[in-house]
């Protein structure tokens, strides 16, 4: 489905279109579909395809993706698995990909084709988290997305969508101890440990 959606162009807008199509498919076909704030991480993960994977030609194209994912056409319209490998001539990015970069890409991809947060509670019964279908928090800048990701990473649903603790206190403290130094330079309300 990804290749069909993107036409082999694995950059921001085609991947945003793909994510939206997957949302539509999941809502229609999966009676247990859940799309919450943590689902925004899918947009961040897909940004790796065009931010981290492109090689010497700087293209997030099918040839590059096939190499990284170990995929090869089988001649019958399907795919087979081969060993994953870096494409010939591939080099690391010059500038590191940091949380602001990932947060910006999450915002850009999600913002291009936004879908409401919610959950299927059976066939054809999708409940929105907010009555107007908005995400429940302001995604107008990368810092807000980064802070929401912090809250999700430490096991707390963002307070802006009515969240509360999801894990035991010990698990939250452990996560916060490890993650607070990473997020210290962002305007996030950090969990005190």
State the DSSP code for 61.
Answer: B
Q: Tokens standing for 57?
A: 């030609």
- The number of C-alpha atoms within 13 Å of 171 and in the hemisphere containing its C-beta is 9
**Contact call for residues 47 and 106 (beta carbons, < 8 A):** yes
The pLDDT tens digits of the residues spanning 116-139 come to: 887 776 566 677 766 555 555 555
pLDDT at 134: 54
Pick from 35, 28, 26: nearest CA to 123 = 28
Indicate whether 164 belongs to any domain. no
81-82-84 Cα angle (round to 5): 110
Indicate whether 156 belongs to any domain. no
Residue 176 to residue 122: CA distance in whole angstroms: 35
State the DSSP code for 11.
Answer: S
Indicate whether 130 belongs to any domain. yes
Mean pLDDT throughout 144-160?
63
pLDDT at 53: 86
Indicate whether 63 belongs to any domain. no
177-183-189 Cα angle (round to 5): 85
**Contact call for residues 6 and 17 (beta carbons, < 8 A):** yes
Question: Domains in the chain: how many in total?
Answer: 1
Q: What is the DSSP string of 62-123?
A: HHHHHHHHTEEE-SSS-EEE----PPTT----SS---HHHHHHHHHHHHHHS----EEESST
The pLDDT tens digits of the residues spanning 63-94 come to: 889 999 999 999 998 899 999 998 888 888 88
pLDDT at 54: 81
**Range of weakest confidence among 36-40, 102-106, 112-116:** 36-40
Indicate whether 192 belongs to any domain. no
Give the distance from CA 10 to its chain's centroid.
14
Helices 142-153 and 169-183, packing angle to 10 deg: 150
Indicate whether 45 belongs to any domain. yes
Indicate whether 115 belongs to any domain. yes
Indicate whether 35 belongs to any domain. yes
Q: Which domain holds residue 127?
A: 2-52+93-139
Residue 15 to residue 20: CA distance in whole angstroms: 9
Q: Tokens standing for 168?
A: 């035991």
Pick from 112, 119, 103, 114: nearest CA to 26 = 119
């Amino acid at each position: 489905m990804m290749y069909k959606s993107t036409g082999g162009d694995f950059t921001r807008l085609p991947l945003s279109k793909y994510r939206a199509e997957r949302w539509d498919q999941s809502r229609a076909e999966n009676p247990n579909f859940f799309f919450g704030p943590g689902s925004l991480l899918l947009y961040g993960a897909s940004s790796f395809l065009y931010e981290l994977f492109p090689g010497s030609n700087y293209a997030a194209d099918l040839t590059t993706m096939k190499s990284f994912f170990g995929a090869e056409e089988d001649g019958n319209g399907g795919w087979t698995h081969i060993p994953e490998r870096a494409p010939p001539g591939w080099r690391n990015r010059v500038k590191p990909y940091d949380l602001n970069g990932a947060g910006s890409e999450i915002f850009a991809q999600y913002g291009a084709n936004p879908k409401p947060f919610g959950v299927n509670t059976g066939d054809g019964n999708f409940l929105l988290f907010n009555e107007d279908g908005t995400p429940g928090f302001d995604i107008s800048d990368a810092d807000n997305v980064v802070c929401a990701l912090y809250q999700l990473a430490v096991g707390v649903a963002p307070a802006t969508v009515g969240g509360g603790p999801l894990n035991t206190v010990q698990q939250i403290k452990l996560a916060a101890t490890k993650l607070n130094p990473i997020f210290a330079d962002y305007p996030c309300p950090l969990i005190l440990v």
